[in-house]
Amino acid sequence: MQKVAISIGDLNGIGIQLALENHDAVSKLVTPVYCIDKAMLAQAAKKLELSIPDDFKTIENITSTFEIEAGTVTKESGAYAYTSFTTAVELARDKKVDAICTLPIHKKAWEKAGINYKGHTDALRDFFDAEAIMMLGCDKMYVALFTEHIPLKEVADAINEKDLTRFFIDFYNTAKPTSTVGVLGLNPHAGDDGVLGDEEKIIQRAIDSANATLQEAQGTDNKLVTVAEPVEVYSDPLVPDVAFTPNVRKHYTHYIAMYHDQGLAPLKALYFDEGINVSLNLPILRTSVDHGTAFDIAYKGVKLNNLSYINAIKYIKESK
């Protein structure tokens, strides 16, 4: 059974409740190792009025302990969440676990703690000097983001043929889609042949370049071969406002969005409860829940929806 390091997230939020309440279910899928020490675990469990399973494996000496303040942004919880995460990463880097799963952090808490990353994916890019790709979704539909946490006014300037071509090739090689991937245009009506913007011309060139490269690479053991028909791994730029309608969606299981809300707004409208976050194109496998710390309900005895967490673990199990 695969061993998975679980970074505990922000302890002022719901992550530790998810971990405790779902330990039995998770343990049937993988062998979890929780990046939390016994003292903080005991404090959280007492506040939650939950028992600690006998086989709940923890790691000592994570970092300084602190007093949990439910639903509050603090530098102490941010520092603990970050060190829990880096502990999980090191376990994966050292091959002591097969993958990591991250529970939700609070970006402002990281900032208060002096952490200069906006989130897990940014940090992973730096740790491994790799162009990590953020993909979110579930078996019904996955969406990968070409640009992520940047202002909307910067998106158009970020679209260039070289980077987008590399992104397409890296995504194909790591996500391994089994059918054509839908690529969203940037502008309304996908530019209307340049009337509403010409970024689609750049996107189309990147699509053509990636498809040509992947055509050559079809075959076994990554050997370069020539195939008789062009490989259309990627669609031409799709009109964004119809790309997720039922008649179009039935043709695609994977999409590439040019910016954050373009892809995630429809995804979360359709599959919010069950979606996960996957970091692709890294030497380690990392999945995460696709929701936040839910400070408004933390430590209030609210029953939590566990679909995202369980799906994040299932993705790991099914990836090996």
Q: Would you say how long the chain is, in residues?
A: 320
Print pLDDT tens along the chain (320 aa). 999 999 999 999 999 999 999 999 999 999 999 999 999 999 999 999 999 999 999 999 999 999 999 999 999 999 999 999 999 999 999 999 999 999 999 999 999 999 999 899 999 999 999 999 999 999 999 999 999 989 999 999 999 999 999 999 999 999 999 899 999 999 999 999 999 999 999 999 999 999 999 987 765 444 433 444 555 899 999 999 999 999 999 999 999 999 999 999 999 999 999 999 999 999 999 999 999 999 999 999 999 999 999 999 999 999 86
Q: What are the beta bridge partners of residue 136?
A: 143, 277
Q: Which 3-state string (H, E, C) describes the chain?
A: CCEEEEECCCCCCCHHHHHHHCHHHHHCCCEEEEECCHHHHHHHHHHHCCCCCCCCCECCCCCCCCCCCCCCCCHHHHHHHHHHHHHHHHHHHCCCCCEEEECCCCHHHHHHCCCCCCCHHHHHHHHHCCCCEEEEEECCEEEEECCCCCCHHHHHHHCCHHHHHHHHHHHHHHHCCCCCEEEECCCHHHHCCECCECHHHHHHHHHHHHHHHHHHHCCCCCCCCCCCCCCCCECCCECCCCCCCHHHHCCCCEEEECCHHHHHHHHHHHHHHHCEEEEECCCCCEEEECCCCCCCCCCCCCCCCCHHHHHHHHHHHHHC
Domains and CATH numbers, the chain: 1-130+282-320 (3.40.718.10), 133-278 (3.40.718.10)
Half-sphere exposure of 37 (CA within 13 A, CB side): 13
* Strand bridging mode 286-289 / 276-280: antiparallel
